[in-house]
Structure 1
Amino acid sequence: MRFNDNIQFYSESESHYDPKIGDYVGGVTLVGEEIANVTETGTETSVTAFGDISTRSLVIRFVNSIEYKWSYLTINGLETKYKPITTRQPLKNNTLIVGEMNGN
Protein backbone atom coordinates (compact mmCIF):
# COMPACT_ATOMS: atom_id res chain seq x y z
CA MET A 1 0.00 0.00 0.00
CA ARG A 2 1.43 3.36 -1.03
CA PHE A 3 1.02 6.36 1.25
CA ASN A 4 1.43 9.06 -1.38
CA ASP A 5 -1.28 11.62 -0.50
CA ASN A 6 -0.88 14.57 1.86
CA ILE A 7 -3.90 15.20 4.11
CA GLN A 8 -4.45 18.60 5.77
CA PHE A 9 -6.70 18.77 8.84
CA TYR A 10 -8.54 22.03 9.65
CA SER A 11 -10.46 23.21 12.69
CA GLU A 12 -13.25 25.76 12.42
CA SER A 13 -14.32 28.00 15.26
CA GLU A 14 -16.17 31.27 15.28
CA SER A 15 -13.80 34.23 14.94
CA HIS A 16 -13.91 36.68 17.86
CA TYR A 17 -11.88 39.59 19.24
CA ASP A 18 -9.54 38.75 22.13
CA PRO A 19 -8.76 41.94 24.11
CA LYS A 20 -5.80 40.27 25.88
CA ILE A 21 -3.84 39.91 22.64
CA GLY A 22 -5.53 42.78 20.80
CA ASP A 23 -6.49 40.75 17.73
CA TYR A 24 -9.09 38.38 16.31
CA VAL A 25 -8.75 34.68 17.10
CA GLY A 26 -10.56 31.64 15.80
CA GLY A 27 -11.76 30.96 12.30
CA VAL A 28 -10.19 28.28 10.10
CA THR A 29 -6.92 26.88 11.45
CA LEU A 30 -4.64 24.18 10.01
CA VAL A 31 -4.17 21.76 12.93
CA GLY A 32 -2.06 19.06 11.27
CA GLU A 33 -0.86 17.19 8.21
CA GLU A 34 -0.31 13.47 7.60
CA ILE A 35 0.59 11.21 4.70
CA ALA A 36 -2.06 8.68 3.71
CA ASN A 37 -3.42 6.22 1.18
CA VAL A 38 -6.70 7.48 -0.36
CA THR A 39 -9.24 5.37 -2.27
CA GLU A 40 -12.90 5.82 -3.18
CA THR A 41 -15.47 3.79 -1.28
CA GLY A 42 -17.53 1.16 -3.00
CA THR A 43 -21.20 1.58 -3.85
CA GLU A 44 -22.34 -0.50 -0.87
CA THR A 45 -20.43 1.68 1.62
CA SER A 46 -21.78 4.88 0.01
CA VAL A 47 -25.35 3.63 0.27
CA THR A 48 -24.83 2.58 3.91
CA ALA A 49 -23.21 5.89 4.93
CA PHE A 50 -25.33 8.33 2.90
CA GLY A 51 -28.43 6.47 1.71
CA ASP A 52 -27.42 7.00 -1.93
CA ILE A 53 -24.37 7.06 -4.18
CA SER A 54 -24.53 10.72 -5.21
CA THR A 55 -22.25 11.87 -2.36
CA ARG A 56 -18.58 11.13 -3.03
CA SER A 57 -16.93 9.35 -0.12
CA LEU A 58 -13.34 8.27 0.38
CA VAL A 59 -11.43 5.80 2.53
CA ILE A 60 -8.26 7.32 3.96
CA ARG A 61 -5.68 5.04 5.58
CA PHE A 62 -2.96 6.39 7.89
CA VAL A 63 0.12 4.75 9.38
CA ASN A 64 -0.40 6.57 12.71
CA SER A 65 -3.57 7.32 14.63
CA ILE A 66 -5.08 10.78 14.15
CA GLU A 67 -5.35 12.69 17.41
CA TYR A 68 -6.30 16.11 16.00
CA LYS A 69 -9.59 17.83 16.80
CA TRP A 70 -10.68 18.72 13.29
CA SER A 71 -13.76 19.90 11.40
CA TYR A 72 -12.81 19.01 7.84
CA LEU A 73 -9.85 17.89 5.76
CA THR A 74 -8.43 18.51 2.30
CA ILE A 75 -6.30 16.24 0.16
CA ASN A 76 -3.05 17.34 -1.51
CA GLY A 77 -3.89 21.02 -0.97
CA LEU A 78 -6.96 20.93 -3.24
CA GLU A 79 -10.08 23.02 -2.50
CA THR A 80 -12.53 20.13 -1.98
CA LYS A 81 -13.40 19.68 1.70
CA TYR A 82 -14.32 16.37 3.32
CA LYS A 83 -16.19 15.88 6.59
CA PRO A 84 -15.69 12.90 8.91
CA ILE A 85 -18.13 10.00 8.65
CA THR A 86 -16.52 7.22 10.68
CA THR A 87 -13.18 5.96 12.02
CA ARG A 88 -11.89 2.40 12.03
CA GLN A 89 -8.77 0.95 13.66
CA PRO A 90 -8.04 -2.45 12.09
CA LEU A 91 -4.90 -4.40 12.96
CA LYS A 92 -2.43 -2.50 10.77
CA ASN A 93 -3.58 1.00 9.81
CA ASN A 94 -5.98 3.66 11.06
CA THR A 95 -8.81 4.39 8.66
CA LEU A 96 -11.19 7.32 8.15
CA ILE A 97 -14.24 7.33 5.93
CA VAL A 98 -15.01 10.88 4.84
CA GLY A 99 -17.70 12.46 2.67
CA GLU A 100 -17.47 15.43 0.36
CA MET A 101 -18.95 18.59 1.86
CA ASN A 102 -21.57 20.43 -0.19
CA GLY A 103 -21.11 24.17 -0.65
CA ASN A 104 -17.35 24.41 -0.13
Structure 2
Amino acid sequence: MRLDHEVTFWLDDDQYDPDTHQYGDPKKVAFSVASVTDLGTNRSVELFGKYDQQAKVVRTVEPIGVKWSYLTVDDDPTRYVLQTTRVPLQNNTLIVGEENG
Protein backbone atom coordinates (compact mmCIF):
# COMPACT_ATOMS: atom_id res chain seq x y z
CA MET A 1 0.00 0.00 0.00
CA ARG A 2 1.40 3.36 -1.04
CA LEU A 3 0.84 6.22 1.33
CA ASP A 4 1.14 8.84 -1.39
CA HIS A 5 -1.55 11.37 -0.44
CA GLU A 6 -1.84 13.98 2.29
CA VAL A 7 -5.20 14.01 4.06
CA THR A 8 -6.26 16.90 6.30
CA PHE A 9 -9.13 16.52 8.77
CA TRP A 10 -11.24 19.59 9.58
CA LEU A 11 -13.80 20.46 12.26
CA ASP A 12 -16.51 23.00 11.45
CA ASP A 13 -16.90 25.77 13.99
CA ASP A 14 -20.56 25.88 15.02
CA GLN A 15 -20.20 29.09 17.03
CA TYR A 16 -22.36 31.85 15.54
CA ASP A 17 -21.03 35.40 15.72
CA PRO A 18 -23.98 37.83 15.83
CA ASP A 19 -21.72 40.79 14.99
CA THR A 20 -20.63 39.37 11.62
CA HIS A 21 -23.70 37.13 11.08
CA GLN A 22 -21.40 34.23 10.23
CA TYR A 23 -20.15 31.00 11.70
CA GLY A 24 -16.49 30.58 12.60
CA ASP A 25 -13.81 29.24 10.29
CA PRO A 26 -13.16 25.49 10.16
CA LYS A 27 -10.23 24.25 12.26
CA LYS A 28 -7.57 21.79 11.17
CA VAL A 29 -7.67 18.98 13.75
CA ALA A 30 -5.52 16.22 12.22
CA PHE A 31 -3.19 15.41 9.33
CA SER A 32 -2.13 12.05 7.95
CA VAL A 33 -0.51 10.42 4.96
CA ALA A 34 -2.84 7.92 3.34
CA SER A 35 -3.63 5.68 0.42
CA VAL A 36 -6.60 7.21 -1.43
CA THR A 37 -8.46 5.32 -4.15
CA ASP A 38 -11.80 5.68 -5.90
CA LEU A 39 -14.65 3.56 -4.64
CA GLY A 40 -15.75 0.84 -7.08
CA THR A 41 -19.05 1.13 -8.93
CA ASN A 42 -20.67 -1.89 -7.24
CA ARG A 43 -19.80 -0.70 -3.74
CA SER A 44 -20.89 2.85 -4.59
CA VAL A 45 -24.34 1.57 -5.59
CA GLU A 46 -24.55 -0.46 -2.35
CA LEU A 47 -23.69 2.53 -0.15
CA PHE A 48 -25.31 5.45 -1.94
CA GLY A 49 -27.93 3.87 -4.21
CA LYS A 50 -26.26 5.41 -7.26
CA TYR A 51 -22.92 5.16 -8.98
CA ASP A 52 -22.29 8.82 -9.82
CA GLN A 53 -21.55 9.77 -6.20
CA GLN A 54 -17.92 10.86 -5.89
CA ALA A 55 -16.56 8.57 -3.19
CA LYS A 56 -13.09 7.61 -2.03
CA VAL A 57 -11.53 4.92 0.11
CA VAL A 58 -8.96 6.45 2.49
CA ARG A 59 -6.57 4.08 4.23
CA THR A 60 -4.42 5.43 7.05
CA VAL A 61 -1.88 3.61 9.22
CA GLU A 62 -3.37 4.83 12.51
CA PRO A 63 -7.01 5.55 13.38
CA ILE A 64 -7.95 9.22 13.56
CA GLY A 65 -8.64 9.76 17.26
CA VAL A 66 -10.23 13.21 17.12
CA LYS A 67 -13.69 14.42 16.20
CA TRP A 68 -13.80 15.78 12.63
CA SER A 69 -16.47 17.09 10.23
CA TYR A 70 -14.86 16.56 6.83
CA LEU A 71 -11.54 15.86 5.15
CA THR A 72 -9.64 17.16 2.15
CA VAL A 73 -7.12 15.30 0.02
CA ASP A 74 -3.85 16.91 -1.18
CA ASP A 75 -5.09 20.47 -0.47
CA ASP A 76 -7.90 20.06 -3.02
CA PRO A 77 -10.93 22.17 -1.98
CA THR A 78 -13.32 19.21 -2.39
CA ARG A 79 -14.76 18.21 0.99
CA TYR A 80 -15.43 14.56 1.81
CA VAL A 81 -17.64 13.45 4.70
CA LEU A 82 -17.55 10.09 6.44
CA GLN A 83 -19.88 7.37 5.15
CA THR A 84 -18.48 4.34 6.95
CA THR A 85 -15.30 3.20 8.67
CA ARG A 86 -13.51 -0.10 9.19
CA VAL A 87 -10.61 -0.98 11.47
CA PRO A 88 -9.03 -4.21 10.18
CA LEU A 89 -5.93 -5.73 11.75
CA GLN A 90 -3.35 -3.50 10.09
CA ASN A 91 -4.83 -0.23 8.79
CA ASN A 92 -7.74 2.13 9.32
CA THR A 93 -10.18 2.41 6.39
CA LEU A 94 -12.58 5.31 5.82
CA ILE A 95 -15.14 5.40 3.04
CA VAL A 96 -15.99 9.03 2.36
CA GLY A 97 -18.37 10.72 -0.04
CA GLU A 98 -18.26 14.17 -1.58
CA GLU A 99 -20.09 16.76 0.52
CA ASN A 100 -23.27 18.08 -1.09
CA GLY A 101 -24.05 21.72 -0.51
Normalized against structure 1, the TM-score is what? 0.86
1:101: how far off?
1.0
Which has the larger strand fraction? 1
Alpha-carbon distance between aligned partners in 1 of 2:93 and 2:9, rounded to the nearest angstrom: 15
Structure 1: any 5+ residue segments left out of the alignment?
Answer: 18-24
Could you list the per-position Cα deviations for residues 3-58 of structure 1 after superposition, in whole angstroms to 9, with x for gaps in the alignment? 010000000132345xxxxxxx9441111100000001111110011000111111
Aligned amino acid, residue 95 of structure 1: T
Q: How many residues align?
A: 97
Normalized against structure 2, the TM-score is what? 0.88
Quote the residue 1:90 is aligned against. Answer: 88
Structure 2: any 5+ residue segments left out of the alignment?
Answer: 18-22
CA RMSD of aligned residues (A): 1.7
Quote the residue 2:30 is aligned against. Answer: 32
- Percent identity (aligned): 43
Quote the residue 2:78 is aligned against. Answer: 80
Alpha-carbon distance between aligned partners in 2 of 1:54 and 1:37, rounded to the nearest angstrom: 22
Q: SS where residue 14 of structure 1 aligns? A: coil
Q: SS where residue 26 of structure 2 aligns? A: strand
Could you list the per-position Cα deviations for residues 73-92 of structure 1 after superposition, in whole angstroms to 9, with x for gaps in the alignment? 00011100000000001121
4+ runs deviating over 3 angstroms = none
